[in-house]
Each structure stands twice: as structure tokens, then as C-alpha cells.
Amino acid sequence: MNTWNETPTDLTEFLNLADFEEKAVERMSKMAYEYVASGAADELTIQWNRQAFDAIKLNPTVLNGVGQPDTRISLLGHELPHPILIAPTAYHQIMHPEGELATARGAGAASAVYVVSSFTTTPLAEIAQTATQPLWFQLYVRDDREYTRNLIQEAEARGCRAICITVDTAVPGVRNRQEKGGFNLPDHVITHHMPGPLNEKKPLTWKDIEWINSFAKTPVLLKGILNAEDAEKAVQAGASGIIVSNHGGRNLDTVPATIDALPRVADRVNGRIPVLMDGGIRRGTDVLKAIALGARAVLVGKPVCFGLACGGAAGVTKVIELLKTELEIAMILTGRATIPQIDRSVIWK
């Protein structure tokens, strides 16, 4: 099955993230494109992820003397050059022949943390050899808990600096559009660390989080929290961080946009552990808004997949660099010289 258009692409013509998605329709097979672009059921949450960002107005200040802003952040004991991470997404070899190796190289050139999916189509060992920037590992907890333990320990042994446990996927969502697109992995595409699709019978509970924390040597973050009460439970269970996420609108439709859920979670956590978010980030102004409303950093998924499809490693790099440049411009125009200076006063009330 042909999953990728091999014709070279001139990346100079890509001026924003929307350009990548528009071009990706031509670069990817219909099956691969629908897999990345689609969501759950009627895809209302996907729409809301964007509409909620668009509805937030910024409060600019003038004559503020901000020149080149400093985008550095401190996260889980490490200094990062900017707050834009690559979210975990599966099956990169259906987007580009080099798969996750191209993503890792692109992340390196963009100085971005890459969160590798459990459903990587490239062995973690090979990704780790290629990576020049920090790797994190996203984990689906399988019924076989011993297998899960071994996978965490392998990720740590490969140098992953954090484990992100996806907690919002007790069952896969109703993905009608993906099914209509005929999703089926080609024979040559293998998920090396996941024994088949998710069909778990043993529910994940807070006790499992405590169990993982009992042996994990790296920080454990919980990805997929929207409810402030769950955020409190995450803190109590010993989580090192929270990722506010609605799974890109791919699981339960009609849940809130992540940017709408973010302030409630951030207020409840109240700085005890870092709060990150994903879902709907398409502009540097979105990054600014997320940080203003309580996120320490953001993760970007679908646009990175489209960048990978359009230009391999260089496409991934350009997606992150476009966002970072737009963030810097937004910081200058709102009078914020550093990331810690971005607070809720940047939002127009």
C-alpha cells in the first residue's frame, strides 16, 4: 500500500501550520490522512479545541521595551529552550518512510522534547540513538502489568526522561471517520512495543498509578486529565505532572476544549506540580494563551504529523520553528520578555 507521496516538497512555501495540513492531503494516503485528521463521533470537540482558542482575546501593551524575548523554561528539573513539545502520536511510518527517526531528527534540529508513542513503528532503541534532544515516553498500561513494568524500565534504560501515562483511554473512542477512511496498517508497519491494538479488560485505576510510581525512576505524568477533581487525585497519587488533554478530540466527543479545562486544573493544582496541555495548538498566540492560563508547556500532535508527511525531519523542524517564532512575536507585542512573565493579565477581560 502506498502511504506517502515521494515527490520532494519546497518547504519555503509553508508560512504557517495550516499550510502543512493543506499540503498533507496531497502527500499522504487517504487512510493515513484520515487517521491523523479525524476525531471521535461528530468531531465537535475537535472543532471546540480551535474555536475556544479563537474566542480568547489578547491584551497587548505598547512601548514596553521588549526586544528578543527569552523562551526558556524549567520543567521537571531540566532547562528547555522553549515550551513547545512534540506530542505522542502513533504510526509515523504511514506518514513518512523514515517514521519516528525523521521525527527525532526534526525534534533535535528544533531543540524540542519528543514524546515517543507506545505505538511507535520504530524501536525505541533506534530512536534513542538518533535523538539529540530529550525523549519522553508515552505509555498505555496493558492488562499484562509485568509487560508494562518492563516497557517502562526499557524506556528509562534508553534515556527517556519522563513517562507519560495516557489515562483517558479505558476504551477507544467512536472513530467513524477513521473507519470510513479504511484504516489498516500496511504489512511492513509494525508496532514494536505494543502487542496488538488496545482491547484491555483490566481497568486502570489510581492504585496502578501508585504502583508505577513505586518503581519508576523517572517522573511520571498523567496525560488526559480534564477534571479538576482528577487533577487533585493525580497530585495525591504522586504524579510529577499533568497533561490537560482530550486526546485531540479522538476519544469522547463533546468534552470541553482543553484550553477551557486548563484554568480549572491549573487553579486546583496551584503550582504543586507542572501542568501541561495539548489540543488545538496551531499558532504562537495559542501557546501564549495556554501559558497565560496555567500551562508550563504545550504539546503539538497533528501539525507535527503533517509536517512529517510534507517534509520528513525538515518538516517537523519547521512546524516547531514556526510556532516558536510566532510565540516570540506574541511575547514582544504583549510586553512579555520571559515565559514566567506570561500570566492571566495577557488575556483581554
- List active site positions: 247
Residue 165, marked binder: no
In 3-state terms, what secondary structure has residue 6? Answer: coil
In 3-state terms, what secondary structure has residue 133? Answer: coil
Residue 142, marked binder: no
Contact criterion met (CB below 8 Å) for 216 and 155:
no
Q: How many residues does the chain have?
A: 349
Residue 148, marked binder: no
Residue 90, marked binder: yes
Encode burial over 253-270: b for 16+ CB neighbours within 10 A, e otherwise: bebbbbbbbbbbbbebbe
- Cell 499484562 -> residue: 144
Distance of CA 289 to the CA centre of its chain: 16
- Cell 478530540 -> residue: 249
Angle of the 258-269 helix axis to the 284-292 helix axis, nearest 10: 30
| 292 CB-near residues (< 8 Å, 6+ apart) | 342, 343, 344, 346, 347
Residue 60, marked binder: no
What cell does 316 get?
517537523
Residue 117, marked binder: yes
Strand locations in 78-166 (E): 78-80, 84-86, 114-116, 135-139, 163-166
Residue 250, marked binder: yes
CB atoms within 10 A of CB 226: 22
- Cell 513547545 -> residue: 84
Q: Please list the helix, strand and coil fractions of the chain in percent, rounded to the nearest 5, in that order.
A: 45, 15, 45
Nearest to 99, CA basis, from 122, 117, 133: 122
Residue 30, marked binder: no
Nearest to 31, CA basis, from 67, 59, 3, 73: 3
Residue 280, marked binder: yes
Residue 281, marked binder: yes
Residue 89, marked binder: yes
Residue 35, marked binder: yes
Q: How far is CA 231 from CA 4, 141, 222, 224, 245, in A?
A: 40, 19, 9, 10, 12
Q: Which residues are annotated as a binding site for glyoxylate?
A: 35, 140, 175, 247, 250
Q: Which residues are annotated as a binding site for FMN?
A: 88-90, 117, 138, 166, 223, 245, 278-282
Q: Which residues are annotated as a binding site?
A: 35, 88-90, 117, 138, 140, 166, 175, 223, 245, 247, 250, 278-282
